[in-house]
Amino acid sequence: MLTPTPLMRLVSGFWSFKTFAAAVELDLFSRLAGGKTITVEKAAADLGLADRPADLLLAACASLGLLDRSGDGYRNSALAEEFLVSGKPYYFGGQVRYCDARTYLPWHRVGDALRTDRPLTWDPDSQESMFETEDPQILELFWEAMYSTSIFTARALGEAYDFGAHTRLLDVGGGSGAYPIELCRRYAGLQATVYDLPHVCPIADEKGAAAGLSDRIDSFAGNFLHEPALPPGYDVILLSMILHDWDEPTNRELLGKCFAALPTGGAVVVSELLLNADRTGPPEAALMGMNMLVETVGGRNYSETEYVTWLTEAGFVDAEVIHFEAPGANGVVVARKP
């Protein structure tokens, strides 16, 4: 029998996120690292909560698969232990904190974005892009969010596509350097450069140094939208979670710059949450498109077919779609310069 139960799950979807975000804000999962268990009474004392909210929080987190219960105690699920303990290599808390602080409230006005076709998290009349803000805390949250989403996505990409055929990687708009770090860890013969805005490059340099990869990862300051050409000397160019920020003409122009910068045989790798050919899903790609409405002027999530078309018309050949599962991408489109 058809029921409105699936609709109720949509209605209450924000309950799950805000419960999750509150638990991350309280650093619940880091407190339970290493197999520790906690009772309701101990959680109340440690988190500064009364017994009732502590009980409700632990039960809700267990229902979401974030905690496991054993007797009177709760402990981290395998998912939480791996990705929600601060300091672990693939810590995902940065993304949770950023969405809670930056995008959650603007999303309440998504109807305004639909009616006006304008972003809600920044003002395009006074700022050049969403990446400009005077709030250092928001900037810090943004780069931590991008790093926490990208580092595991880079691991999945490194398993799906063989970068061993390349020696020098240019990560266009590479932010805090998660992709170069993970890919250089996996491929000993690879060197990488993060190409990003001047105020971003020190963040990438710091992350590369912390990973012990300063000898193989560097940064190059520039604006890939405004510069007439990309830096030469690289045999693979990565565009990870970049093209969904911009409209089609901007993306085609950037792919043209990639083609001009690459040598014969060089490759371009587009890593994104790809829509299917008829643009009906998957949900994570389609809903990220809605988030681009909230956060960008012309951005949207594109289908794998659109990327193949643009690459082919830019002069690339042998375009191939490789699917995988990760938080920041569900696949890549790879093409080669003849």
* 199 flagged as catalytic: no
Q: Kindly report each contact of residues 188-193 with a partner whose C-beta sits within 8 Å and lies 24 or more positions away, as own/partner.
A: 189/164, 190/163, 190/164, 190/166, 190/216, 191/167, 191/216, 191/217, 192/168, 192/216, 192/217, 192/218, 193/168, 193/169, 193/217, 193/218, 193/219, 193/220, 193/231, 193/234
Cα–Cα separations (whole angstroms), residue 327 to 54, 92, 133, 273: 29, 10, 25, 9
What token pair was written down for 285? 């790609």
Specify the residue for token string 């791996």: 82
Q: How many CA atoms lie within 13 A of 194 on its CB side?
A: 31
Catalytic residue among 108, 199, 244, 323: 244
Report which residue type is found at 10.
Answer: L
Give the three-class secondary structure for 116.
helix
Cα 246 from chain centroid (whole Å):
16
SS3 per residue for 28-75: HHHHCCCCCEECHHHHHHHHCCCHHHHHHHHHHHHHCCCEEEECCEEE
Q: In what order do the strands lie in the sheet with 37-38?
A: 37-38, 73-76, 67-70
Q: What angle do CA 338, 184, 194 make, to 5 degrees?
A: 70
Rounded distance between C-alpha atoms, residue 24 and residue 97, angstroms: 7
d(CA 249, CA 278): 21
What does the alpha-carbon distance between residue 102 and residue 143 come to, in Å, rounded to a whole number? Answer: 12
Structure tokens at 315: 């002069």
What does the DSSP 8-state code read for residue 173?
A: T
Catalytic residues: 244
